[in-house]
Amino acid sequence: MKKNGRRLALVVVVSVVALILSACSTATASSSGGIKGQSLKGVKFAFAISDSAASVDVTQANVFVQQAKKLGATVHVYNNNGDAATMLSNSALMVASKPNVIVDYPSVADATDRVGQAFTTAGIPCIAINVPIQGCSFFNFDETALADLGAEAMAKQMKARGWNGSNTTVIIGQASELGESVNIAVTSFYSKLSEIVPGMTKVKASDIGPSTTKINSQGLQVDVGLTLDQGYSTINSALQTIPTNRNVVIYTVADDATQGALRAVAAQNRSSTTMGSGYGGEPAAFDAIRTGNVWVTDQIGFFPYWGEFVLAMAVAMHNGVTPPPLTAPSQVVVDKQNIDTYFKKGTADVTTMPAIPKESEYLLKTGILQKFGNIEGVTN
């Protein structure tokens, strides 16, 4: 009995030492993260698309798959099909295929806890795109940072027209179905704008809740959703509450919603006293920014190009790097002045993306982003 107890203690000590050593080796790997010999031969990735009906999601996956295959990796692609049940069954299939890294793009948040459990239990490193998954590293826009840039750009436009807190009402349009992780963009936008526009009463983002509608006497929060028609009908009604002698600034989290909102503005003949800002980099937004004076800025996180950032992140994780809480892509706010710096003149085709945020600079060490050669200052 005594002998057994000693053996057990020895096993426990050896296990603890092994665990500590493995943790140390992971920590050491964090400092490297480059591709050994620029090859991913023998590496296997599993990639679940949010919904293959959305072409932009497919583009994202294609960028990832093509480059990974070129480097010798195997990629199994799954389609979460926009629903939680499919996402859950895909997670089981992905775990069973035993990849080195799993990339999962949930279309809804409903199944993320269960999916996270499956990945964590299997001990496979995983990346969650856009919607957090418990236990996975997270890749997404830095919503707050992008919204702050958006507010700064809008404040510049307001200053040029002589608009301030005394003559302007700011409408922020949330998309209630997307929850706090996305709608923090609208509250952050308002908060930052209130800090820098003269005459606006300062408001903290945390003071604007999902049910807040009136923000002192200078702002409104409405639910414009993500679609053209909801943006149109909501703003059509909301404009009734704003006297026609006040200027209006509209900010939403989707270009479609902004497009619908600005149609409502035009229908009420208030375009000359309105400025709008969108989110997403849709061709319609670019046309409007280049040719008109109502849609003045657009927040862009280069969504279709996320595949290259995510591949770099997957490779870094495969090499033992522990990513920061949020890895973000290049982000920019475009206006009439800078739009042709990042996009080919007259089109929505990217020529160069701005430098990646500081917290994402570890991606550069993998050498993946250099292969695409489309980020400012990053060359092969």
Partner 1 sequence: MTNQVELNVAKAPRAPRFTLSRLPATAVVGTFLVLVIAVFSITADGFLTVGNATTIVSTASVIMIAALGQLLVVISGGFDLSIGGMIPLAAVLFSSLTTSGWPMWSALLACLIIGVIVGFIHTFFIVFLKVNPLITTLATLSVTGGIGFILSNGQTLAVPGDAGVLGDQVIGTLPWHVLVMVLLVIVVHLLLQHSIFGRRIYMIGGNSEAARIAGVRVTLIGGSAYVLSAVFAAFAGVVLASQLLAASGAVGSDITLQSLAAVVLGGAALTGGRGSVPGAVIGVLLLGIIANGMTILLVPSFYQQVVSGIVLLAAVTFSRLQERAKRVS
By CB under 8 A, residue 53 contacts partner 1 = yes
- Both tokens of 311, joined, read 């591949």
Using rule CB under 8 A, residue 237 touches partner 1? yes
With contacts defined by CB under 8 A, how many residues of the chain interact with partner 1?
A: 38
Nearer to partner 1, 72 or 179 (CB): 179
| Alpha-carbon dihedral sign for residues 345, 348, 351, 352 | positive
Considering the complex, state which of residue 209 and residue 373 has its C-beta at the smaller distance from partner 1. Answer: 209
The nearer residue to partner 1, 229 or 361, going by C-beta atoms, is 229
Distances (CA, A) of 168 to 143, 179, 217, 273, 295: 24, 27, 10, 9, 16
Please report how close the Cβ of residue 135 comes to partner 1 at its closest, in angstroms: 31
Could you tell me the CA-to-CA distances from 200 to 24, 105, 252 in Å, in that order?
A: 51, 39, 19
Single out the residue of 137, 141, 123 nearest to residue 315, CA to CA: 137
Binding of partner 1 by 54 (CB under 8 A) = yes
Task: Give yes or no for residue 178 binding partner 1 (CB under 8 A).
Answer: no
Nearer to partner 1, 62 or 74 (CB): 62
Q: Exposed (0-12), middle (13-18) or buried (19+): which is 27, by Cβ within 10 Å?
A: exposed
Q: Determine which residue in the list 24, 267, 292, 361 makes contact with partner 1, applying CB under 8 A.
A: 267
Cβ 125 to partner 1, closest distance in Å? 30
Indicate the residue type of 104. Answer: D
Residues in 190-229 at the binding interface with partner 1, rule: CB under 8 A: 210-214, 220, 222-223, 226-229
Convert 110-149 to b/e letters by CB count within 10 Å (16 or more is b).
ebbeebbebbeebebbbbbbbbbbebbbbbbbbbbbbbbb
283 touches partner 1 by CB under 8 A: yes
Residue closer to partner 1 (CB basis): 132 or 225:
225
Q: What is the CA radius of gyration of the chain?
A: 24
Interface ranges with partner 1 (CB under 8 A):
53-56, 176, 210-214, 220, 222-223, 226-229, 232-234, 236-241, 255-256, 259-260, 263, 267-269, 282-284, 287
